Structure 1
């Protein structure tokens, strides 16, 4: 069961350390000439930080340098901080005038639901997926009374 938990944690880490990083290090964000230079600096800083935290989380998840319960638990906590930070930032957008998407960036996905077309923000979709996978790992930890 530990391997399943490790794989789930890895998938969750990859949502912010690989997929989101790739989405941010391109012309829609980091090199977008319509963004002020300071905003581009902050997005690159965030991406580099997320990649670094992701590497630490993956090392904790896979390298047997201590008790598995502590290592995997720490990786899950780091990942929860990154993913939770996204949702806290999204929830507080009215306080600082933030927006989930830039008109020059990724467009929301349009999907059919109950005969209607709805827009799904790709950031929200990615981080909900990462959070759901992390929660699945947590459920397995609880059901199995820990990681061995």
Structure 2
């Protein structure tokens, strides 16, 4: 069983479709309080996740397994989540919009996804040696 590839594939699919599932609603895409430019960047983020996940899957499954393909797949599968964590460092950002009192789960999801990517990478790297 190629559990490393399965883990990286699962996180890649989450990267591809997670933002659409989380954001295609009244809090983001259909939020009347968001200015058009904020919606533009939300769309950009969703499209970036879709593209990075697709690149990860292509690198992972698109040819003969190699260290280079694994490195590329893991980088593609991780970049979206790394940039999501870094977004909180910019001035004026918040994990949720007021008046919501919910706590933002993005750091937990990003951290768990990156941990799964690291585990998948380690398992697959050992397998293809």
TM range (shorter): 0.7 to 0.9
Instruction: Write the distance in 2 (CA, Å) between the matches of 1:31 and 1:69.
Output: 42
For normalisation by structure 2, the TM-score amounts to 0.85
| CA shift in 2, pair 1:104/1:51, >3 Å | farther
* Structure having the higher Rg: 1
Task: Give CA deviations for 1:67-98 in whole Å, capped at 9, x if unaligned.
Answer: 432222211011222211111222x13xx210
Is the CA contact 2:15–2:52 (under 8 Å) kept in the aligned structure 1?
no
2:108 is matched with which residue: 122, 125, 130?
Answer: 125
1:1-148 mapped onto 2 (5 Å cutoff): 3-63=2-62, 65-90=63-88, 92-93=89-90, 96-103=91-98, 107-108=102-103, 121-141=104-124, 144=126, 147=128
Instruction: Count matched residues.
Output: 129
For normalisation by structure 1, the TM-score amounts to 0.75
